[in-house]
Amino acid sequence: HLSRIGINLDNYYAQPLCTPTRASLMTGRYPIRTGLHHHVITAAENRSLPLDEVLLPQVLKHAGYHTHLVGKWHLGFNCWEATPTFRGFDSFYGIYNGMGDYFTHYLGPGYDFHCNTRPEKAAKGHYSTELYTKRAKEIIFQHPTDEPLFLLLSQQNPHSPAQVPRRYMHRFRGFESDSKTQTYAAMLASMDDSIYSVIQALKHRHMWDRTLLIFSSDNGGPIMGDFHMMNIGASNYPLRGGKMSLTEGGVKATGIVYSSTVPGGGRSFNGLMHVS
């Protein structure tokens, strides 16, 4: 639906990994300028997006916006100053790392699900996508409609590990012979439902006609054989390569822009564009 009503960015690029792409999105700069071009930030690393960088939420907050991050951060948490609520976001609900169990919210021995600066223990046992959707809708319904809002909904799926509520698997009964593809498709369906639910909340609050919505992926799907990436059922066909690769399959991203003020919904824009 979004593709039919929005502008499809047919020549849109990100980075081959999560952290570099997010650094570009937050700063408007290529990741080589921030020192985050090599790899993702892992849980034990003593580094983050440099603290002297001015981030998008800081600029928008200065302009009068309410700013909220729901979902993945993945730009470092080696000190409090590196975390979202110290970097321009009024609130944060989600994970500091780039991945983790969708239901237990553990990554190795560590629990990673936070509400602002505190662990959110009530999230245990609940699917992260649905938690993020619920929180995003709460923000929308509590927001004063006469004031500007910046909401970054950064979904965890369809990142590994491949996990999804069983009811989504039933939608793809024809894929039983390929359980990985079935699970991956189900994860994408869960994300689709989340986006639809958030859009409906915006419409209910009469905010949709004044909304600029940008949908973006942060890298290509992981495929078997690329830098020992786990095969979780993704496909970048007909593009070559995948996540962690500088071939088209690793960096050509899905991008859609929607606004009621932008004419020509359903058309494509072929101009070269980068997430920064």
- The closest of 120, 122, 114, 116 to 90, measured between CA atoms, is 116
DSSP annotation string for 134-187: HHHHHHHHHS-TTS-EEEEEE--TTSSS----HHHHGGGGGGTTSHHHHHHHHH
Residue at token pair 């409906």: 200
Answer whether the bond into residue 20 is a cis peptide, omega within 30°.
Answer: no
Pull the structure tokens for residue 71.
């979902």
Q: Which amino acid is at 196?
A: Y
Cβ atoms of 251 and 200 closer than 8 Å: no
Cβ atoms of 234 and 274 closer than 8 Å: no
> Mind telling me the catalytic residues?
18, 74
